[in-house]
């Protein structure tokens, strides 16, 4: 019924006859048909995600070149998101939490017997995979906050004997661990009291830790990539002495550092993004290539041995590529491509022939619909910053005076990228212009841009969004009376800020998992975020010393200024942004008699994972947007 109502309103107000055929919500937001294929170490099989008969994402295994796919996991409800091959024969690993609580367990699957074992069967403990090594196929290094919920120690887990032994105890300030070529924990990234970061190393497991490099708060987004093969140097991502992060090699004994790859405009692509990254040869421990992203992903060759391969991949298929897995001998690669007008596509690359073989598209049903191109644009902020942004316009209608959604990314220490985005295509297909802005504090554009956002939540970070809205209106693309703001996590917070701080700019707002009170947010962070508290104090504000400042940047304390309709979405088990963040502003707005819709999902965490929940939200959002943005020009705020 909700979908029908949205379709009716869209037809009345957006001139649906001029738009392409409507893409059904399940095609965009239901489970993919197949996704995330990974090649087995022996190069003979693929493991990928696909729904079972109950529409729950499971891991499936298929022999390359054969039609013998079979399901090897049996997750009952939530669906699996993260999986990988172990080097032990016929062994797959996957992570799963309980209804979004982020206390992930590591499971092992014997793909011959289909036997599944929980390797970390500890309640209220979060497991993180630290590393696997081809030379130690029976072993897994994992970080668990089993001893102390605030810190993750490293455990060595035997895949054969199911033994879990403490390997390295955290001193309390470690953010991440790195094993050396002998699969020993010999490096750690640690948080400093000033909000900076230190990289430490040790000669062996019994030696004392020593400092490799100490980065101040401005350079704290550096990270360890790997050891060199001899264990005497570290590959690092570092912005020390430059504005953007670069790939460097640092000698552990002398501290001498050489730059292997850098771009003056863009950082090395964050490993948590879906595009680009750093390609390391696991045999030689040589970095082979690294990507940078300004408007689009661009690869830089570090090892000439892969130059011909990257050239072949760049030419092989449309879009920006990422190497997602390789077999043990590095002869066969699985490569994914993102394209703005096609769902993610996966290919098998043969190094000997330099040929790509198409495996599958994640959502093949989209091929029969006309998708909207995404155009990179650079918008100038009022104080002169270049905001790399992406504008997507609906197909089939004149790109003038359109209703528009400002779609704000989360983090805020993340970024929007060019490529296929289901939310963007949904909105454009319904007739909305969509603007995505990499506001200050977004990552990928150098540390000056990143730290221009320090202590600017609801300040200059929000000004960047407002400047982008004004740009779209001045360009004639957006009807200034029909602009909405939407986002999740930090983007949800930005939507609340838009409603409370600048209610005259927006006609409506949708908040997904966004904090409403920065004081209660920072006081309720998960215990294992303890090492990051000082960084949060530097970048957001000090909750102990300046609660009044944080309250001044919190939408909850300006709820009386909210005049536009709100839709708020929250997962009941969210460990990052607790349910109270939604419910306190819901209560404030309702008490003031303002229009408010609230969706609480009891089986979700930070973001919606289950397809039924996603479809319920997007159906409700579609009706909400049609009601408040699709009126004739000049009537959007009625």
Residues 242, 95, single domain; the answer is: no
Could you give the number of structural domains in the chain?
3
Are 415 and 436 part of one and the same domain? yes
Final residue of a domain: which of 283, 302, 321? 302
Residue among 153, 309, 416, 574 flagged as catalytic: 574
Distance CA 522, CA 515 (A): 10
Helices (H) and strands (E) in the chain, counts: 12, 35
The verdict on residue 510 lying in a domain is yes
What is the arithmetic mean of pLDDT over 472-498?
Answer: 98
The answer to whether residue 567 scores a pLDDT higher than 90 is: yes
Residues 158 and 175 placed together within one structural domain of the fold = no
Looking at the structure, tell me whether residues 462 and 480 fall in a common domain. yes
Residue 582: band (very low, low, confident or very high) from pLDDT cuts 50, 70, 90: very high
Q: Catalytic annotation on 606? A: yes
For position 535, what pLDDT does the model report?
Answer: 95
In a domain, 358, yes or no: no
Give the pLDDT score at 403.
Answer: 97
Which pLDDT belongs to residue 10? 43
In a domain, 320, yes or no: no
Q: Is position 361 annotated as part of the catalytic site?
A: no
Q: How many other C-beta atoms lie within 10 A of the C-beta of residue 216?
A: 12
Examine the domain organization and report whether 176 and 292 are in the same domain: yes
Residue ending a domain, choose from 133, 166, 199: 166
Are both 541 and 611 inside the same structural domain?
yes
If you average pLDDT over residues 39-59, what whole number do you get?
97
Q: How many CB atoms lie within 10 A of CB 423?
A: 17
Q: Is residue 347 part of a domain?
A: no
**DSSP assignments along 409-450, one per residue:** -SSSS----SS--HHHHHHHHTT-EEEEE--TT-SSS-HHHH
Over 50: is that where the pLDDT of 170 sits?
A: yes
Q: Is residue 199 part of a domain?
A: yes
The domain spanning residue 258 has which CATH number?
A: 2.120.10.30
> Does 383 qualify as catalytic in the annotation?
no
147 and 44 co-located in one domain: yes
The reply to whether 123 falls in a domain is yes
Radius of gyration from C-alpha coordinates of the chain: 24
Pair 464, 550 in one domain: yes
178 and 152 fall within a common domain: no
pLDDT at 140 over 80: yes
What's the average model confidence in pLDDT over 585-589? 96
- Please tell me whether residues 548 and 516 are part of one structural domain: yes
pLDDT given for residue 244 in this prediction: 98
Tell me, what's the pLDDT at 638? Answer: 32
Residue 226, classed as helix, strand or coil, is strand
What pLDDT, on a 0 to 100 scale, did the predictor assign at position 7? 40
* pLDDT at site 273: 64
CA–CA separation, 120 and 106 (whole Å): 6
Q: Residue 335 in 3-state DSSP? A: strand
pLDDT at 270: 84
What backbone phi and psi angles, to 5 degrees, belong to 531? -60, -20
Are 537 and 531 in contact by the 8 Å Cβ rule? The answer is no
Whether residue 162 is contained in a domain is answered as yes
Handedness of CA 337, 342, 343, 346 (dihedral sign): negative
pLDDT digits (tens, 9 = 90+) for 429-468: 999 999 999 999 999 999 999 999 999 999 999 999 999 9
CA distance linking residue 212 with residue 186, whole number of Å: 11
Average pLDDT score over residue span 69-81: 96
Confidence bin at 162 (pLDDT 50/70/90)? confident
What value does the mean pLDDT of the chain take?
94
Q: Residue 46: pLDDT above 60?
A: yes
Same domain? 7 vs 69: no
The confidence band for 509, taking pLDDT boundaries of 50, 70 and 90, is very high
When comparing pLDDT for 7 and 180, which is higher?
A: 180
pLDDT band at 634 (very low <50, low <70, confident <90, very high): very low
Per-residue pLDDT tens digits for 182-235: 999 999 999 999 999 999 999 999 999 999 999 999 999 999 999 999 999 999
In this predicted structure, the answer to whether residue 548 has a pLDDT above a threshold of 90 is yes
**Which residue out of 489, 513, 554, 630 is catalytically annotated?**
489
The pLDDT tens digits of the residues spanning 25-37 come to 999 999 999 999 9
Mean pLDDT score, 158-184? 95
Considering the domain architecture, whether residues 267 and 403 belong to the same structural domain is answered as no
Confidence of residue 632 (pLDDT cuts 50, 70, 90): very low
Note down the domain range covering 465.
2-26+368-629
As a whole number of Å, the end-to-end CA separation of the chain is 24
Q: How many CB atoms lie within 10 A of CB 495?
A: 30
Q: Which of 264-273, 331-340, 486-495 has the least mean pLDDT? A: 264-273
Residue range 301-331, pLDDT digits in tens? 999 999 999 999 999 999 999 999 999 999 9
Q: Which of 83, 105, 451, 606 is catalytic?
A: 606
On the question of pLDDT at 74 being above 80, the answer is yes
Ranges 7-21, 148-162, 322-336, 338-352: which has the least confidence:
7-21
pLDDT at residue 274 tops 80 = no
Classify residue 350: in a domain, yes or no: no
């Amino acid at each position: 019924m909700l979908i029908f109502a949205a379709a009716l309103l869209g037809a009345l107000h957006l001139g649906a006859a001029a738009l392409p055929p409507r893409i059904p919500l399940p095609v965009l937001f239901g489970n993919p048909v197949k996704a995330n294929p990974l090649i087995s170490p022996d190069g003979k099989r693929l493991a990928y995600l696909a729904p079972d008969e109950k529409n729950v994402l499971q891991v499936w295994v298929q022999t390359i070149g054969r039609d013998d796919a079979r399901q090897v996991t049996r997750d009952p409800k939530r669906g699996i998101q993260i999986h990988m091959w172990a080097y032990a024969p016929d062994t797959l690993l996957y992570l799963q939490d309980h209804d979004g609580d982020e206390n992930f367990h590591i499971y092992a699957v014997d793909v011959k017997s289909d036997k599944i074992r929980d390797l970390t069967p500890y309640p209220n403990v979060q497991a993180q995979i630290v590393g696997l090594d081809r030379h130690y196929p029976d072993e897994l290094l994992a970080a668990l906050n089993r001893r102390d919920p605030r810190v993750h120690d490293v455990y060595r887990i035997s895949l054969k004997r199911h033994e879990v032994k403490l390997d390295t105890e955290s001193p309390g300030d470690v953010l991440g661990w790195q094993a050396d070529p002998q699969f020993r924990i010999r490096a750690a990234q640690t948080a400093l009291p000033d909000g900076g970061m230190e990289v430490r190393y040790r000669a062996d497991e019994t030696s004392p830790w020593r400092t490799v490099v100490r980065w101040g708060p401005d350079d704290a987004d550096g990270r360890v990539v790997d050891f060199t093969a001899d264990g005497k140097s570290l590959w690092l991502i570092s912005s020390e002495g430059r504005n953007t992060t670069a790939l460097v090699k640092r000698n552990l004994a002398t501290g001498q550092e050489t730059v292997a790859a850098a771009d003056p405009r863009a950082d090395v692509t964050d490993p948590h993004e879906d595009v680009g990254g750093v390609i390391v040869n696991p045999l030689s421990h040589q970095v082979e290539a690294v990507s940078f992203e300004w408007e689009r992903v661009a690869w830089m060759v570090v090892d000439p041995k892969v130059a011909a391969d990257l050239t072949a991949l760049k030419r092989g298929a449309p879009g920006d590529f990422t190497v997602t897995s390789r077999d043990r001998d590095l002869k066969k690669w699985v490569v994914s491509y993102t394209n703005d007008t096609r769902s993610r596509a996966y290919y098998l690359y043969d190094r000997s022939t330099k040929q790509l073989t198409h495996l599958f598209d994640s959502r093949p049903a989209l091929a029969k619909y006309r998708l909207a191109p995404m155009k990179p644009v650079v918008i100038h902020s009022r104080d002169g910053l270049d905001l790399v942004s992406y504008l997507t316009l609906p197909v089939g209608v004149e790109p003038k005076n359109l209703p528009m959604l400002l779609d704000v990314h989360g983090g805020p220490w993340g970024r929007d990228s060019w490529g296929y985005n289901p939310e963007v295509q949904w909105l454009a297909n319904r007739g909305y212009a969509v603007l995505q802005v990499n506001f200050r504090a977004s990552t990928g554009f150098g540390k000056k841009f990143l730290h221009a956002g320090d202590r600017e939540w609801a300040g200059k970070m929000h000004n960047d969004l407002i400047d982008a809205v004004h740009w779209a209106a001045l360009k004639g693309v957006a009807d200034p009376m029909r602009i909405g703001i939407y986002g999740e996590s930090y983007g949800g917070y930005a939507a609340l800020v838009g409603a409370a701080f600048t209610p005259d700019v927006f006609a409506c707002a949708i908040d997904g998992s966004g904090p409403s009170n920065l004081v209660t947010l920072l006081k309720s962070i998960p215990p294992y975020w303890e090492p990051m508290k000082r960084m949060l104090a530097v970048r957001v504000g000090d909750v102990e010393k300046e609660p009044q400042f944080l309250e001044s940047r919190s939408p909850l304390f300006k709820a009386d200024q909210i005049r536009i309709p709100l839709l708020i979405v929250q997962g009941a088990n969210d460990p990052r942004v607790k349910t109270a963040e939604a419910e306190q502003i819901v209560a404030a707005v309702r008490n003031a008699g303002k229009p408010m819709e609230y969706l609480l999902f009891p089986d979700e965490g930070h973001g919606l994972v289950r397809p039924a929940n996603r479809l319920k939200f997007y159906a409700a959002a579609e009706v909400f947007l049609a009601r408040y943005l699709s009126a004739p020009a000049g009537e959007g705020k009625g």
